[in-house]
């Protein structure tokens, strides 16, 4: 089974507007509400590509109920822990020529709720895939991902971690199967600016030296680079298209990669499906459908068993 964990899920309020002027009343041209949070987005794309997963995490208040219901309508199984106080956050995404995001703080996660999550995670078995993605509210310790991996490290579970800075650095010693920083996040971890592909490969390898198995570095419109455990490097530019809303492109890439890997066990195919899924989501108003992803593959869907 594939499990995703989102500590701080959201409802994403995605609006299009002709312009955004600070300090003025701005009017939208369209608006939509979607279930959000990085792990949840991964679950949605996995479902679109035909893989079952269970979305874990915390939900609170009426927004939590709505996001859970919406995820289920999108075909995702959920098993969220209800928090007694607060509301799951509403993150605002404004597409007005440029993309502006306002992400909420989210509810306080109690020690009791964390223990409840641990109990669910303790049931994972050999062969399962655990995808930890997204930020954690600042009321939680920065080593929470590390604690989870430490707890599960004796089992043959594939860990996928999409997080930033310390959250990510601290899990390297548990040999995550896949990590997916973007080039800015990779640079931040080492206090450098990374734009050149040669440098990105050098720093991806540094993360491998710290313990990561496969490192997938996304570079938005400049494509992606994969450095595999056995030292192979794949790089590609993304397919061409018009960006509508790139929120969730990285999560789609993770889901596409994992689907490609689990279906074919071929790293290059996993990489290609990851890039197609990321770009397909960037080119549509929310997360891409299977058909939108297949349209960018340039190969028959059967090659990827999707
Ligand atoms: N402007 C774009 N044009 C084409 N493809 C894109 C664009 N932006 C993103 N993508 C695709 O999605 C992948 C992931 O994008 P990106 O690097 O922005 O991830 P990210 O920073 O993790 O995004 P997010 O946190 O918003 O999900 C890219 O490698 C690329 O394949
Ligand atoms: O605040 P975080 O956890 O870093 O990011 C949350 C978020 O921006 O990430 C997803 C896109 O990747 C959105 O669905 C969601 O609103």
- Residue ID of nearest Cα to ligand 2 atom 15: 37
Residue 219 phi, psi dihedral angles, 5° rounding: -135, 40
Catalytic residue, candidates 12, 128, 162, 251: 251
Q: Between 164 and 63, name the one with better pLDDT.
A: 63
- Residue ID of nearest Cα to ligand 2 atom 11: 248
Closest ligand 2 atom to residue 250 Cα is 12
CA–centroid distance for 151 within its chain:
22
Pocket test for ligand 2, best of 5, 9, 37 (most atoms within 8 A of CB): 37
Residue 141 has pLDDT above 90, yes or no: no
134 CA to centre of ligand 2 in angstroms? 6
The stretch 193-210 carries a mean pLDDT of 96
Residues 131/162, Cβ–Cβ less than 8 Å: yes
pLDDT at 35: 97
Q: In the structure, what pLDDT confidence band is assigned to residue 142 with cuts at 50, 70 and 90?
A: confident
58 CA to centre of ligand 2 in angstroms? 14
CATH of 2-6+38-88+107-304, one of 3.30.565.10, 3.20.20.70, 3.40.1190.20, 3.40.50.300: 3.40.1190.20
Instruction: List the domain boundaries for the chain.
Output: 2-6+38-88+107-304
The stretch 204-229 carries a mean pLDDT of 97
Residue 290 has pLDDT above 90, yes or no: yes
Residue 166 has pLDDT above 90, yes or no: no
State the ligand closest to the CA atom of 220.
1
- Residue ID of nearest Cα to ligand 1 atom 16: 220
The stretch 213-242 carries a mean pLDDT of 97
- ipTM confidence score: 0.97
Euclidean distance between CA atoms 68 and 73, whole angstroms: 9
Residues 157/126, Cβ–Cβ less than 8 Å: yes
Q: In the structure, what pLDDT confidence band is assigned to residue 226 with cuts at 50, 70 and 90?
A: very high
- Residue ID of nearest Cα to ligand 2 atom 6: 37
Residue 224 in contact with ligand 1 by CB distance below 6 A? yes
36 CA to centre of ligand 2 in angstroms? 7
pLDDT at 137: 87
Q: Counting Cβ atoms within 10 Å, is residue 81 exposed (0-12), middle (13-18) or buried (19+)?
A: buried
Pocket test for ligand 2, best of 89, 134, 246, 288 (most atoms within 8 A of CB): 134
Q: Closest by alpha carbon to 197, among 207, 205, 189?
A: 205
pLDDT in tens, 6-52: 999 999 999 999 999 999 999 999 999 999 999 999 999 999 999 99
Does residue 143 have an active-site annotation? no
The stretch 252-274 carries a mean pLDDT of 98
Find the largest Cα–Cα distance for the chain: 55
pLDDT in tens, 231-247: 999 999 999 999 999 99
pLDDT at 139: 80
Closest ligand 2 atom to residue 249 Cα is 12
Q: Which two tokens stand for residue 281?
A: 């989501």
Within 10 A of 160 (CB to CB), how many other CB atoms are there? Answer: 25
Q: Between 138 and 127, name the one with better pLDDT.
A: 127
The stretch 252-279 carries a mean pLDDT of 98
pTM, to two decimals? 0.97
125 CA to centre of ligand 1 in angstroms? 32
């Amino acid at each position: 089974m594939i499990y995703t964990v989102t500590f701080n899920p959201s409802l994403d309020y995605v609006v299009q507007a002709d312009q955004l002027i600070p300090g003025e009343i701005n009017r939208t041209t369209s608006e939509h509400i979607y279930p959000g949070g990085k792990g949840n987005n991964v679950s949605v794309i996995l479902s679109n590509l035909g893989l079952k997963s269970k979305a874990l995490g915390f939900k609170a208040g009426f927004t939590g109920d709505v996001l859970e219901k919406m995820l289920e309508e999108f075909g995702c199984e959920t098993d969220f822990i209800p928090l007694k106080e607060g509301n799951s956050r509403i993150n605002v995404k404004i597409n007005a020529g440029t993309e502006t995001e306002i992400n909420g703080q989210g509810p306080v996660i109690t020690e009791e709720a964390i223990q409840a999550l641990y109990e669910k995670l303790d049931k994972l078995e050999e062969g399962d895939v655990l995808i930890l993605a997204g930020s954690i509210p600042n009321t939680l310790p920065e080593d929470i991902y590390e604690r989870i991996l430490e707890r599960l490290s004796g089992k043959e579970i594939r860990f996928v971690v999409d997080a930033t800075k310390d959250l990510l650095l601290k899990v390297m010693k548990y040999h995550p199967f896949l990590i997916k920083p973007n080039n800015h996040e990779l640079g931040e971890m080492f206090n450098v600016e990374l734009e050149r592909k040669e440098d990105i490969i050098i720093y991806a390898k540094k993360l491998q030296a710290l313990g990561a198995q496969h490192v997938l570095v996304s570079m938005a419109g400049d494509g992606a680079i994969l450095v595999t455990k056995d030292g192979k490097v794949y790089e590609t530019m993304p397919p061409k298209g018009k960006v509508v809303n790139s929120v969730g492109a990285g999560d789609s890439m993770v889901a596409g990669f994992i689907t490609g890997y689990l279906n074919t066990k071929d790293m290059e195919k996993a990489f290609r499906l990851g890039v197609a899924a990321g770009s397909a989501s960037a080119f549509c108003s929310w997360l891409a459908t299977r058909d939108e992803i297949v349209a960018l593959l340039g190969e028959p869907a059967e090659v990827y068993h999707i």
